[in-house]
Chains A and B, each alone.
Chain A
């Protein structure tokens, strides 16, 4: 009884708590990182006042959002207006339940050290060998990648609902833009992932990483076109420059969140940044070997294993986030029709062509 409870309730709940807290913390400090990096790019300092080099700035900002007056426009749909940010934010968190931060045996050492405090050795072994407790992830789902995409599509609904419920013109335009944009880029995104799936022949994110280890090569070198397309569509999917049309402040004031203030606005904000981390994590998992160190099968580089696999994963994600911010500091913004044109006329055909070529090559050599 005790073991079952541990295996299926206590340990997963602890993992979920850790992942949620880590993600929220990462999101908070991603905003700090973005302000700092943009500051460096733009020859200024970024936040410097709150804490050492502004390190406490995200907390101050969060506090400000919480204590601000919460305004709901008089003619807004109150229920939908309040729900919409949540609809946008929760999927962004749910996605992290299947993203592997480390290998399946990542936590066995830790558990072997902690569990004997409560259990006898035999049950400790049973808990560890149950196969669901030691992984560096919350759950290893065999359709993980499908789950990621279906759940993260729900996030778009939050934006549409928010723009619609505000009962105001600019948010409506922003919501229309974002629904069009996200839907069209998700199609290309799906096709790029399909070509990775063809190579990996599995839908589980954990297995995809392990396949990369077995093959001795990260899939970015097998599928470079797919990766580039994935990254660009990822920028569009997360509403980042040069694709940040839904909230283009110089055109649509604030886009879908024009009427939002205080904590509800903060949640939209969190959702966007969590989305950045999601896309980066998926890119790392699918193309850059997830938690693997560089050259995972080269023995004399074994000293690299001294760095825990989680750290490798986070380092890779960090590189992606850096590029996201870098792009924002460099490029202007597309126009709406140009964006759609690129999406449907360039990225989608390229993604399909890539898929077809991959399939043909696979067929030939299988």
Chain B
């Protein structure tokens, strides 16, 4: 984009957020504008900092878990999965097959719910009001499933170390099947409203372009990385929690722009549905929890458990000193790292594009600030 010259107007510095309708929480972006063109952007984060990692050091391994629900509150189930997998690895606990299958099913439901919320808000930011409510209609169904199984809609406290808290309630499988039967038509409906819409294409094509190499340099993961053509999905490249037994495709983009990232997330919803279909078809019987000692005291050691969350690579680096409390839990939040690229992506674009780019990075401030 053009460099400013001496003839250009004085820079206008505006604050986007932390109270702004489109910064998805309490993100604050300091924008330097020339007219409507963005010369520079700086992110200010930390408005939602609660010290989750530090709190974890003073809780037992089981009591840490609810705190992680509240980091990325849109993907609480995924968060739980990453942590329990790590602790189970440290303690070498065998998880029964039924629990493994249900975990994958619920995590994929969560991925759909998360992507739906992303699509809803992304579309709303770009001005498509109706998509917002359509997405919430389907998300509501998933949240009802969550409520049925976990007893909560958002902060689910989904899994337990060694398995599940409870078995599937009666009627759950039918409800899940009903949802996945209806879902493809719904995704088509959203696509009908957006994918070939002239305005939508104008607003998203060529916006926030980043090449594959650069995306890797920035440490991006999840859809922002795959949108640039790097087929890196932890479910495929470093399978965890039984994902190697499922069939699904990893969609990648070509141009690395906002439109490609949109298409990828749409396709991921379809693929998640495919995985759920497979889990429902094979759902084995048997126990839901493995043999777990009453007090969880992992042996001295450390383990990094990385999973593919809806937003990218979600990691828990757990260090145990042999006591009942973790010595340190470091969370690698995907959007904290993805957000680094914001400054690079928005430079030279217009104010309206900043909104589209924040939307396409799919940030959750609870996770960024922790």
Contact = CB atoms under 8 A, between A and B. Distances in A.
A249 interface: yes
Contacts of A328: 129
B199 A169 contact: no
Contacts of B132: 42
A74 to B, nearest CB: 18
Contacts of A336: 36, 350-352
Interface in B125-149: 125-130, 132-134, 137
Contacts of B125: 250
B203 interface: yes
Contact of A43 (B21, B133, B351): B133
A331 B197 contact: yes
Interface stretch (A23-31, A209-217, A227-235, A240-248): A240-248
A332 B123 contact: yes
B337 interface: no
A338 interface: yes
A42 B134 contact: yes
A248 to B, nearest CB: 7
Would you list the 5 A-B pairs with minimal beta carbon distance, nearest first? Answer: A333-B127, A42-B133, A250-B22, A332-B128, A332-B127
A169 B123 contact: no
Given A169-B14, A250-B21, A337 B350 contact: yes
Contact of B134 (A43, A252, A333): A43
A44 interface: yes
- Classify chain A's interface size: 20 to 34
Nearest to B124: A250
Given A241-B127, A332-B127, A333-B126, A253 B134 contact: no
Interface residues of B, number: 31
A173 interface: yes
A244 B129 contact: no
A181 to B, nearest CB: 12
A42 B129 contact: yes
A331 B127 contact: yes
A344 interface: no
Interface of B: 12, 14, 20-22, 36, 123-130, 132-134, 137, 193-194, 197, 199-200, 202-203, 350-355
A54 interface: no
B202 A338 contact: yes
B352 A332 contact: no
B363 to A, nearest CB: 15
A335 interface: yes
A46 to B, nearest CB: 11
Contacts of A333: 126-128, 199, 203, 352
B292 to A, nearest CB: 44
Given A334-B203, A335-B202, A335-B353, A329 B20 contact: no
A129 interface: no
Contacts of A251: 22, 351-352, 354-355
A253 B21 CA distance: 6
Contacts of B194: 332
A344 B36 CA distance: 19
Contacts of B350: 335-337
A173 B36 CA distance: 8
B11 to A, nearest CB: 12
A252 B199 CA distance: 19
A164 to B, nearest CB: 14
Contacts of A253: 20-21
23 contacts: A42-B130, A42-B134, A43-B133, A43-B134, A169-B12, A173-B351, A245-B352, A250-B127, A251-B22, A251-B354, A253-B21, A331-B128, A332-B126, A332-B200, A332-B203, A333-B199, A333-B203, A335-B350, A335-B352, A336-B350, A336-B351, A337-B36, A338-B202
